[in-house]
Amino acid sequence: MAHTPPENQEIDLTKVARSVRASFSRANDSIFDGILFIKRNIVIFIILIIVGAALGFYLDSSSKSYEHKVNVIPNFQSVDYLYSEIDLLNAKLRENDSAFFKKAGIKNFKNLSKVEIEPIVDIYQFIDNSDEKRLALFKILAENGDLKKILEENTTSKNYKSHLITFTTKKVSQQSELIDPIMEHFNNSTYFDTIKRQSIESQIEKISSTDSIIAQIDNILNDYSKSSGSGNSNLVYYKDNTDLNEIINIKSYMVREQAKNRIDLINFQKTVKDSSVIMNIKNYSALTGRMKVIVPVIFILLFVFFRMFVSYYKNQTYKRSLIN
């Protein structure tokens, strides 16, 4: 049986069609109004683009920054001294204290923005088995708290051997003009110079004494080898002889320690020993090099918003004048 659609359904479809046509008409009018708006204000748009691009170029060039990283080893328990010196350096930068930097031998200090320091977390060096007290303390702390938090907290971090100093500058810099004078300033301490001389003398004596002990152990082993005859059977006997095996273990330990002693002697040449320097690492962000595009867009959007606000204000004022 055929079904005839009700009359009101046909009316609804007609309303929908009219509504769609009206929407397209409004969209078309809005697009054309936008074209007319651009045409009327084309000169202003061009000026905003030129001024915005020029300002963007300036911001791109002036907002550049570079990092310079220095790995250092604070010797003679000078970690607190080094951290306090860096705090002082940042304070003098904020104060723009030219007299301080001139005295320190840092000429182009206005190029320097800030100085930061952080420990280089080295868990294996921190719990070196040669330091039984530190190893025991670390085990207790690890059992009673968050290991990562313990490793990074301030009281623990200052006990690490190496630290990273980061210098941030506005322009490309030379090591001889930036890093070297500041490192020389860090090492200019009468107190630590005295400790350094005594430590170097003690280290030289320690190396000499250890060399002498190793030589005596070698003589003992040589004498024992001669008295026992030669042959592969000696290797088996060494393992079975507890006293002799202990002597060999002592020698191995002292040889390892002697290697550390010689490296320490090299590091002791400075209170704050720089082990590596990396210069002129350019900083990048999401806005780096894009201000020449972003600024003109912002200017245009602000202008459009301003004109829309003015138009809205005038329309509302006109409506209220008609009511009154």
- Local confidence pLDDT in tens for the 324 residues of the chain: 455 555 555 556 676 667 767 677 777 767 877 788 788 888 888 888 888 888 888 877 766 788 899 999 999 989 999 999 999 999 999 998 888 888 888 888 888 889 999 888 776 666 665 566 666 666 666 666 656 666 666 666 677 888 999 999 988 888 888 899 999 999 998 999 999 999 999 999 999 998 888 888 888 888 777 776 554 445 445 555 666 778 888 888 888 888 888 998 999 999 999 989 999 988 876 666 778 888 888 888 888 888 888 887 888 787 777 776
Residue 188 to residues 47, 76, 182, 311, 317, Cα–Cα distance (Å)? 56, 14, 10, 68, 73
pLDDT, residue 11, reads 58
**Beta strands at 272-282 and 112-119: parallel, antiparallel or unpaired:** unpaired
- In angstroms, rounded to a whole number, what is the distance separating the alpha carbons of residues 202 and 195? 10
The DSSP call for residue 146 is -
Decide: residue 167, CB within 10 A, 0-12 exposed, 13-18 middle, 19+ buried.
buried
Length of the chain counted residue by residue: 324
The pLDDT value recorded for residue 73 is: 92
pTM beyond 0.95: no
DSSP 8-state assignment for residue 130: T
The sign of the torsion formed by the CA atoms of 138, 86, 261, 278 equals positive
Amino acid identity of residue 131, one-letter, is: D
Secondary structure (H, E, C), 148-162:
HHHHHCHHHHCCCCC
Contact 210, 258 (CB under 8 A): yes
What span, in angstroms and rounded, lies between the C-alpha atoms of 305 and 310? 9
Residue 125: per-residue pLDDT:
65
Type of residue found at 155: T
pLDDT of 235 reads 47
Question: What contacts 163, CB < 8 A, 6 or more positions away?
Answer: 71, 72, 73, 74, 79, 82, 117, 118, 119, 120
| CA angle, 230 then 233 then 234, to 5° | 60
The pLDDT score that the predictor gives to residue 150 is: 61
Integer angstrom CA distances of residue 118 from 122, 152, 324:
12, 10, 70
Residue type, 69: K
Task: Report the distance separating Cα 33 and Cα 98, nearest Å.
Answer: 59
Beta bridge partners of 273: 73
Strand partners, 72: 163, 274
